[in-house]
A and B are shown apart, each in its own frame.
Chain A
Amino acid sequence: MEVVFSDNELIKGLAQRSEKHIRSVYSQNKVSAIGVISKYLNSESECESIYNDSVLTLVENIILKKFNSTSSLSTYLIGIAKFKALNHLRKKKMLTTELKQEFVDLKYEEPNEHMELATDLFNLTKKGLDKLDNSCKEILIKFYYEEQKLKEMAKQMDLSYDFIRIKKGRCLKKLKNFIAS
C-alpha cells in the first residue's frame, strides 16, 4: 500500500528530490489533474506529457522556494496543469475567446521556459559532472540549480564565504576543462 504523506512531509521530501515523495505526489494527483487537462486537450499522450511537466514544475518551484503555502499542494499542482494545458493551446494558436479569458484570469506566474541544450553537449556536461568530486558537484548544483546564496551555502557547509566563492569558480572551470578534454 502506498504511504500517504501530509503536505508538509511532501514539501520537505520534494525539496530534497526524494523519489518516494515525487512518486507519491505524482500518483495521488494524477486522476484529478488529468481530468482537468483533458477538458482542454484531446490527445491522451498530450495530457500525460502536460501532467508530467506540471509535476516537474511543482518540484522545481518547491526546490526554488516559489511555492505559496496558502494553497494545498494538490490545488497548486492542478493550477499549474491547467496553466500548462492552456499555454499549450495558446502556442498552437488554438485558444478560443472564452479560453483566452480563462488563461488571463489564471494569475499563475509563468515558469521560465527551459532553454534547449544540444544533446551531445548535455551528455558531455553530464559526464563532466559525474567526474567532478562530490563537493564540487554539490556546490555547483546548489548554486546554479537550487539558486542558493553563497552565504547560505557557506553556513550550511561550515565553510567560509570566500572559500566557497573561490571554490565554485574553480569547480566551474574544472567542469569546463573536463568537457573540453
Chain B
Amino acid sequence: MDKELNQNEQRIIDYLDGVLSEAESKQFENDLDNDASLKSEFEKYQKLILGIKEYEREKIRNIISNSSDHKSEQPTTNKQNLKTFKMNDSTVQKRRNPWYSIAAAFFLVAAGAFWFLNQNTEPDYNKLFADNYKKEVESVDSHLKQLGTKLLASRGVTEKDTGTVLYNGERILALEAEQLEKQRVNNLMDGITKFKSADWKNATISLNTYCESYATAGEDYSKALFYLAKSKMNESRYTDAIDDYNKFLNQSTKDQEMQDIAEWDRAISYLQVDQNKVIEYLDEIAQNKRHKFQDDAKGLMDYLKA
C-alpha cells in the first residue's frame, strides 16, 4: 500500500479502478452503506474521475464546435430544400410590377456581387498554418553535439575521491554527482534524438519526463522545454505546445534562435486554436527588428488583415 494514501483512499481508488476481488468489492459496498464519511469521500473521487473525462471531452467538443462555425460547408437539410422549393413555386404565380422587377434585378446583381466578393474572405487557417510552419529545427545537430561534448567532459573524479558536492539540492559524493549528471545529459539527448528522427510521440514522453525530473537545470531545461513544445506542435497538440512555449519563453537562460522559433510557432499555433490572438502575437514579432521572423510576421499580418 502507498504510504501517502490512507486505507480508505486506497480502497476507494482500488474499487473505482475495478481491482478489488468480488468479496472485497461487496465488503466495500457494505461499508459505503454504513459509513457516511467513506461515502462522501467516495463520491468526491467519483466526481473527480468524471471531471477528468469531461476535461478531455471538452477539448474535443471545442474543436468540433469551432469546425461547426466554419461557414464554407453549410449543408442543406431536406426541410430546407423543401422550403426553398415551395417559395419558388408560389412566387412564379404572382405578376410583378415592372418597376419592382428592375429593382429586384438590380438587388439580385448587387447581392450576387456581394456574395461573390465575400466568398473567400474567411482565410483557410489550416493551409496558412501548414504554409508557415516548419516541423524540423535546423540547429538540432549542433544542440546534440553540444550535449555530446558535455557528456564526454569529466572532472577527473575517481572512486577514491571522497569529496562531496551539492547536486539538485542534495549533498552527495562527487563521483555519484558525475554519474547523475551524465545520466541527465543522456536523458536529454535521448529526447532530442527522438525528435530528430521525427518520433514526436516518444520525444514528447522523454522530454516530459526530463522536464519533470530536472526543472532547475538552466540552459538544458530551456532546451528540453523548447523541444517538448515543438514535439507537441508536431503532434498537433497546439494548446499544450503553447503552454510549453510560454514556459520556455519565461526562462531567463535561452538560446536566441530557439526564442525566435518559439515566438513564431506560438503565434501561428493560434491559427489552429484561437484566430483572434494571432495578430497580437504576430505584431510583437513584427515590431522586433532583430527577429528572425519579422518579415514573415509582417507578411502574414498583411494577409490576415486584408
What residues make up the interface of A, taking CB atoms closer than 8 Å to B? Answer: 1-3, 13, 16-23, 26-27, 30-31, 34-35, 38-39, 42, 44, 47-48, 52, 55-56, 59-60, 114-115, 117, 121-122, 124-126, 128-129, 133-135, 138, 140-141, 144-145, 156-158, 166, 169-170, 172-173, 175-176, 179
Contact = CB atoms under 8 A, between A and B. Distances in A.
Contacts of B59: 17
B49, B75, B79: which has the most chain A beta carbons within 10 Å? B75
Contact of A52 (B56, B65, B130): B65
Given A2-B127, A23-B66, A125-B48, 20 more contacts: A19-B238, A21-B236, A22-B63, A22-B64, A23-B63, A26-B67, A27-B70, A35-B75, A35-B77, A35-B78, A42-B79, A55-B64, A60-B60, A117-B47, A125-B54, A134-B212, A140-B52, A158-B209, A170-B5, A176-B45
Interface in B18-68: 44-45, 47-61, 63-68
A135 B77 contact: no
Contacts of A34: 75, 77
B54 A2 contact: no
A133 B48 contact: no
Interface of B: 2, 4-5, 9-10, 13, 44-45, 47-61, 63-68, 70, 72-73, 75, 77-80, 124, 126-127, 130, 201, 205, 208-209, 211-212, 235-238, 272-273
B51 A145 contact: no
Q: DSSP class of B's interface residues: helix, strand, loop or mixed?
A: helix
Nearest to A134: B208
18 contacts: A13-B236, A17-B59, A17-B63, A17-B237, A18-B237, A20-B236, A23-B126, A26-B68, A44-B77, A44-B79, A52-B64, A55-B64, A59-B60, A114-B57, A129-B55, A138-B208, A158-B209, A169-B13
A169 to B, nearest CB: 5
Q: DSSP class of A's interface residues: helix, strand, loop or mixed?
A: helix
Contacts of B75: 30-31, 34-35
Contacts of A122: 51, 54-55
